[in-house]
Amino acid sequence: MSRAATLAGGVRPWPFGVVLTTVLTIVMNALANALPIGGRDTGEISAMYPTVITPSGYVFSVWLVIYLGLIGYAIWQALPARRDHPRAEAIAVPVIVANLANAAWILAWHHLWIGTSLLLMLVLLGALITVYLRLRRPGRPARDRGERLWALGTFSVYLGWITVATVANVSVYLMDVGWDGGFLPATVWGAATLVVATALGVRLLLWQRDIAYAAVLVWAFVGIVVAQSQYWLVAGTAVVGIVALLFTGALALRQPGYTEAR
């Protein structure tokens, strides 16, 4: 983005858009339970759609970490020192899309537009995947500690949680349309999704040594074990996933240097 690409008063459009949509996202999520939007708080809606992979309520506190990270990133990328920063420029549009999708998802979810909420969740997931890949292009290590914390760290945690949230949203949608699992019981489908999530976490640990992404999965899996201990297949699969992620993470941390894509 050239220095000439500014709004009136010298404000650059994309960093300003990131700040504005970040504020919108946080305000919408605050109003979701403060009003609450649609007359229901988030916990009530989750209770309406109990799935075999819904984690314990405390797990959702990860949103506090995500929102603090988004605020930090919005400020970091808007500072004059970040002018023409290649990574900040590369991810500005998908970050804005992610913020808008997050805010719109709140409206859809709280009005029980489950199909629409799933579509918005997929948009959010796609935007975050784009951000992730642009941040972690091989051969372009982070410039400084601020970039590692506010850019790489924030969006690793965010993508990790939205990976879990997307699986949960799919499960809720299938429940909403009356799908009973077809030829397999719900516990088998639930365990299968945990296997896929574990495989993703292991892959990112081996490829990028992404401890933050894997840590979010472990956090969610522990919550699933706590909440779904009556379903031995789901809880057991979550435990195996936790062990696999911790073991792979320990190996990744012992590897010297930066691991490029394989």
Domain coordinates in residue numbering, the chain: 13-254
Which residues, 6+ apart, have CB-to-CB distance to 87 below 8 Å?
A: 134, 135, 140, 147, 151
pLDDT value at residue 223: 97
Task: Report, as an integer, the average pLDDT of 67-85.
Answer: 92
For the ranges 83-87, 133-137, 212-216, 254-258, the maximum mean pLDDT occurs at 212-216
Asked if pLDDT for residue 171 goes beyond 90, the answer is yes
pLDDT confidence of residue 262: 38
Residue 232 class from Cβ within 10 Å (0-12 exposed, 13-18 middle, 19+ buried)? Answer: exposed
- Residues near 39 by Cβ (< 8 Å), separated by ≥ 6? none
**Given pLDDT bands bounded at 50, 70 and 90, which one contains residue 144?**
confident
Please give the average per-residue pLDDT across 99-109, as a whole number: 97
Average pLDDT, the chain: 90
Q: Which amino acid is at 4?
A: A
Look at 5-9, 16-20, 252-256 and tell me which has the smallest mean pLDDT. 5-9
- Quick count: other Cβ atoms within 10 Å of Cβ 108? 18
CA distance 136 to 142: 8
CA distances from 197 to 112, 139, 202, 234 (A): 26, 27, 9, 13
Give the residue from 60, 51, 37 showing the smallest Cα distance to 173: 51
| pLDDT over 90, % of the chain | 75
- Specify whether the CB–CB gap between 74 and 155 falls below 8 A: no
Give whole-number Cα distances, 253 to 76, 240, 249, 256, in Å. Answer: 27, 20, 6, 8
Q: What angle do CA 146, 149, 150 make, to 5 degrees?
A: 80
The pLDDT value given to residue 164: 95
pLDDT-based confidence at residue 222 (cuts at 50, 70, 90): very high
Q: Is the pTM of this model over 0.75?
A: yes
Answer yes or no: is pLDDT of 5 > 60.
no
Answer whether residue 62 shows pLDDT above 70.
yes
Q: What is the pLDDT of residues 31-42, one digit of tens each?
A: 998 999 999 988
Q: Does residue 258 have a pLDDT over 70? A: no
Nearest Cα neighbor of 163 from 197, 208, 189 is 197
